[in-house]
Amino acid sequence: MTRRGKITLAMLSFGHFINDTYSSMIYPLLPMLADKLHLTTAQVFWLAPLYSASASLMQPVYGFISDRYFRRIFAVFGPLMTGVFISCIGLADSYWILMATLIMAGIGIGAFHPQGAAMAAAASGERRRMGMSIFSSSGTLGFSLGPTLIALLVGSAGLDKSYYVVVLGILTSMLLFKYCPPLEVAPKSYGAPEDSFSQMLRAVWAHLILLYFITVLRSGTQILTSNYLPFILKEQGYSVQGIGGALTAFLLCVGLGSFSAGMLAERLSGRSVTLFSGVITVPLFIGAFASQGYWTIIFVAAAGIALGSTLALNIAMAQELLPRQTSTVSALMMGFAWGVGALIPPLAEPLAQAFSFRQVLLFATPALSLAGVLLAYFLPDQSKRQTKIPEKRIVAAKLSAAGD
């Protein structure tokens, strides 16, 4: 990794930290917004899904545009757009203005991720997996700290002073504009003819689908745990501060796992890391939700490390399959996969009502982990030094398509 690449990666990781810090600021403010705007429970319920949908499900569109037209505009100005609209949520004087503000903030969040991930991968050079781990764990760290930061600000200055946080977005976009060069168009290999996304996808679609569904299962497990764990801890008598601290610990451990896996994946194959981490999460989740008190938090934190260890790694593996479409692939793995994974908690809600949050997590988290292990078993045992092999397959597919 060159010195310029290190600076670019550091700035993009900082941008990811700030962007995801913004993305989680809405959650502790929902009760205050409900009181201020006199919202019903149903109205409050729809805010988070719409916010998540605008941030996640539209990412493939942003990635597609990024790969073809704008080479850095989304990554540079995404945090600014996010900061402007998130900072205005305390000023919203109606439900519809609040909803529009959150959707626009979600667009800023979603626009940053695919291009930011592609630029981080490019800046990392031959150490793509390490670079993606740093980039991903920075976002997880920001997401875990966002609720605390906005709670401190609003608690001291009031909800109507939420616009103070816009400073972070302005500063971040200025730094990204100065230090992050645009993505370069990847050169063609082997004299291949003009390519299309469908032609390149033909060579690697099976492995890409496996990685996609592994990410859906892993992200769904993380979101399910984050949603249901507070209810379990509340039943055990934990205070609001204690529940918040436990969630922060879980998310920080997910980020720690993401960072540590980058170094591990440079020595072992991505398949090996994915398999091992999936297997080890099973007993850790069983221990977490079969125990009481501090043991629950200890096991959940340990499971978070194992769970997070492949989130960034699988994104890097997907980028290696389609190296000339890194923004589109990043959007698929980071945004669309997480958007689909976010559907798991509401789908499991009837089971939680029929049984309990603890029983759902006790059976669902190991089951989801085992399903991910099964899919990972069919991944190619491909090390970092072999990542150029798919490109040859891609070129062969292009030449075949040209001859048809």
pLDDT of 42-77, one tens digit each? 787 677 777 877 887 777 777 777 766 666 888 899
Phi and psi at residue 381, to the nearest 5°? -80, 80
In this model, does residue 192 exceed pLDDT 50? no
Q: Which pTM does this prediction carry?
A: 0.73
In this model, does residue 186 exceed pLDDT 70? no
Residue ranges of domains in the chain, CATH in brackets = 1-185 (1.20.1250.20), 186-404 (1.20.1250.20)
CA distance 286 to 282: 6
pLDDT of 294-326, one tens digit each? 899 999 999 999 998 887 788 778 878 877 777
pLDDT of 89-134, one tens digit each? 989 989 999 999 999 998 999 888 888 888 888 888 888 778 888 8
